[in-house]
Copies of this chain bind each other. A is one copy, B any other.
Amino acid sequence: MTRRTTIDDVARLADVHKATVSRALNPRTEHQIGRETVERVRAAADKLGYIPNAMARGLRTANSMTIGVILPDLTNPLFPPMVRGIEDYLEPRGYTALLANTDDNEAAETAAIGSLLARRVDGLIVASGHSDFAALAEARDAGVHAVLLNRDAGGVRFPLVGGDDANGIREAMAHLTDLGHREIVHIAGPERLSTSVTRREAFEAACAARPDVIGRIVEVPSLTIASGFEAMTAILGAGGKRPTAIVAGNDLIALGVLRSLRAHGLSCPDDASVVGFNDMLFAEDFTPPLTTVRVPTLQMGREAARLLLDIIQSGEQPTADVRLPVSLVVRGSTAPVRP
């Protein structure tokens, strides 16, 4: 890699001091410099293909124009839209996102935070919040600004941008009861995830408000297809009355439920209705197309980035969390209960 052009090269060619080059090329200080000089500097910079070194600038200005994004697994379809939303907001503002996958694993969380702090990120967007995210405290101690995305964290308090999960469950339950369902099982995600708790509580509240509805909760250890499959298989294997509807903790669980139903020779929605959560990619292409709660993941990413940049620029912590509206999308996996 041949030596890159530096500000001194440009200064020499334009026959000015490098400080002048710096000012001429920075939109915020450009007005301090004579019109003609700016032109000359620009011409020189263009000619040499000068691209300022962001590391040198960052070292001097003490901000890296870089945002760390911590998520469990990019391969989980929930996250790419969030990341895209974040990047779309950051990019035109000169910021770059640094991604770190944690796989819900404490060692990786610690490593991720360490790597991001070493790169002196100006802020953190944490989409992998859970109740015992110890490494997050390190970031807090380092004075890094952070915003939580989708999932709340336990110990460390940062503002949260999420969807209105409780309302999503309410709508799902209203839809199912309208269809005549009275025996409903909620397959809930692990308690360490705030979204699981919110959804479960909303489910319980909805049942409490409708004494004719018999609600039951099954908790699974992870929000995966496998967990959904196993939970549904257990439900079908157990004796007693089969529920007529399932409210899954998320779409992956719902997909596992669909697969289990199929494996048992049962039909959805004829033998059981299923509702998912998130409206992830391809939810409409499953067999049957999934009725689910749409969460505006792309917009959530944008909002998180916006909130974080606001915090960085103002230096103030915001007062309240941001809850974006969700909406029920009715498709083929729900139907009136069979007589």
- Would you call A181 an interface residue if the criterion is a C-beta within 8 Å of the partner chain's C-beta atoms? no
Taking a contact as CB atoms under 8 Å apart, the answer to whether B143 and A52 are in contact is: no
Closest residue of chain B to A255 (Cβ to Cβ) is B285
- Would you call A111 an interface residue if the criterion is a C-beta within 8 Å of the partner chain's C-beta atoms? yes
Interface string of A108-122 (1 = CB under 8 A from B): 000100110111100
Taking a contact as CB atoms under 8 Å apart, the answer to whether A119 and B96 are in contact is: yes
A338 to B171, CA, bound (A): 45
Q: Kindly identify which residue among B77, B87, B119, B286 contacts A281, using a CB–CB cutoff of 8 Å.
A: B77
Taking a contact as CB atoms under 8 Å apart, the answer to whether B64 and A75 are in contact is: no
A281 surroundings in chain B (CB, below 8 A): 75, 77, 281-282
Taking a contact as CB atoms under 8 Å apart, the answer to whether B282 and A118 are in contact is: no
Interface string of A80-116 (1 = CB under 8 A from B): 1101100110010000111111000000000100110
A115 to B54, CA, bound (A): 9
Q: Contact size class for A?
A: 35 or more
A282 surroundings in chain B (CB, below 8 A): 77, 255, 281-282, 285-286
Interface string of A158-188 (1 = CB under 8 A from B): 0000000000000000000000000000000
Taking a contact as CB atoms under 8 Å apart, the answer to whether B77 and A119 are in contact is: no
- Would you call A144 an interface residue if the criterion is a C-beta within 8 Å of the partner chain's C-beta atoms? yes
A191 to B235, CA, bound (A): 51
A64 surroundings in chain B (CB, below 8 A): 55
A77 surroundings in chain B (CB, below 8 A): 77, 80, 281-282
Interface contacts beyond A49-B142, A74-B74, A282-B282: sample of 18 additional A-B pairs, CB < 8 Å, sorted by A:
A2-B143, A52-B118, A53-B118, A59-B59, A74-B80, A74-B87, A77-B80, A77-B282, A79-B80, A80-B80, A87-B99, A87-B101, A96-B115, A97-B99, A98-B98, A258-B285, A282-B286, A286-B287
The 10 tightest CB contacts between A and B, nearest first, are A1-B143, A287-B287, A55-B55, A55-B58, A54-B118, A54-B119, A2-B143, A55-B59, A282-B282, A74-B80
Which residues of A does B touch, CB under 8 Å?
A: 1-2, 4, 49, 51-56, 58-59, 64, 73-75, 77, 79-81, 83-84, 87-88, 91, 96-101, 111, 114-115, 117-120, 138, 141-145, 255, 258-259, 281-282, 285-288
